[in-house]
A and B are shown apart, each in its own frame.
Chain A
Amino acid sequence: MSTAPASAATWTRRHLLGLEELSAEEITAILDTAESFAEVSDRPRKKVPALQGKVVFNLFFENSTRTRTSFSLAAKRLSADVQDFSASTSSLSKGESFIDTARNIEAMGCDVMIVRHSISGAPHLLAKHVGSSVINAGDGAHEHPTQGLLDLLTIRRKKGRIEGLTVGLVGDIAHSRVARSNIWGLTKLGAKVILCGPPTLVPRSFEQLGCEVAYHLDDVLPRLDVINVLRIQAERQQRGLFPSVSEYFYFYGVTQQRILRSRPDVLLIAPGPINRGVELTPEVADGPHSAILDQVTNGLAVRMAVLYLVSGRASQGDRAD
Chain B
Amino acid sequence: MSRAESRVCGPDVMEELLRLLARQIADGRMPHTRLCLIGIRTRGVPIAERLAALIGGDLPPVGAVDITLYRDDLGRQGHWPVLKGTDIPFEVDDAEVVLVDDVLHTGRTVRAAMNAVCDLGRPARVRLAVLIDRGGRELPIQADYSGKVFEVDSGDRIEVRLNPIDPVDEVVRVGLDSA
Contacts and interface: CB of A to CB of B under 8 A. Distances in A.
Contacts of B78: 312, 315-316
B83 A36 contact: yes
Interface string B55-66: 000000001001
A44 B80 contact: no
A301 B105 CA distance: 33
B160 to A, nearest CB: 21
A8 B119 contact: no
Interface string A1-16: 1111111110110000
B121 interface: yes
A1 B79 contact: no
B155 interface: no
- For the residues of B in contact with A, the DSSP-based class is loop
Interface in A296-321: 308-309, 311-313, 315-316
A9 B82 contact: yes
A11 to B, nearest CB: 7
A108 to B, nearest CB: 19
A3 B85 contact: yes
B89 A1 contact: yes
A47 interface: yes
Nearest to B92: A44
A36 B86 contact: yes
Nearest to A39: B86
B164 interface: no
B167 interface: no
Bin the interface of chain A by size: 20 to 34
Interface stretch (A19-27, A48-56, A145-153, A230-238): A48-56
A35 to B, nearest CB: 7
Bin the interface of chain B by size: 20 to 34
Nearest to A313: B79
A8 B80 contact: yes
Contact of A315 (B68, B69, B70, B75): B75
Nearest to A79: B69
B77 interface: yes
Nearest to A8: B82
A50 B120 contact: no
A133 B109 CA distance: 29
Contact of B88 (A1, A32, A48, A313): A1
Contact of B85 (A9, A39, A43): A39
Contacts of B80: 8, 50, 308-309, 311-312
Interface in B110-135: 115-116, 119-121
A33 interface: yes
B149 interface: no
B120 A33 contact: no
A45 interface: yes
A50 B85 contact: no
B147 to A, nearest CB: 28
A45 B84 CA distance: 20
A6 B77 contact: no
Interface of A: 1-9, 11-12, 32-33, 35-37, 39-40, 43-45, 47-50, 53, 78, 308-309, 311-313, 315-316
6 contacts: A1-B120, A2-B85, A6-B84, A45-B119, A312-B77, A312-B78
Given A7-B82, A49-B115, 7 more contacts: A8-B83, A12-B79, A39-B86, A43-B119, A50-B69, A53-B75, A313-B79
Interface of B: 63, 66, 68-70, 74-80, 82-89, 115-116, 119-121
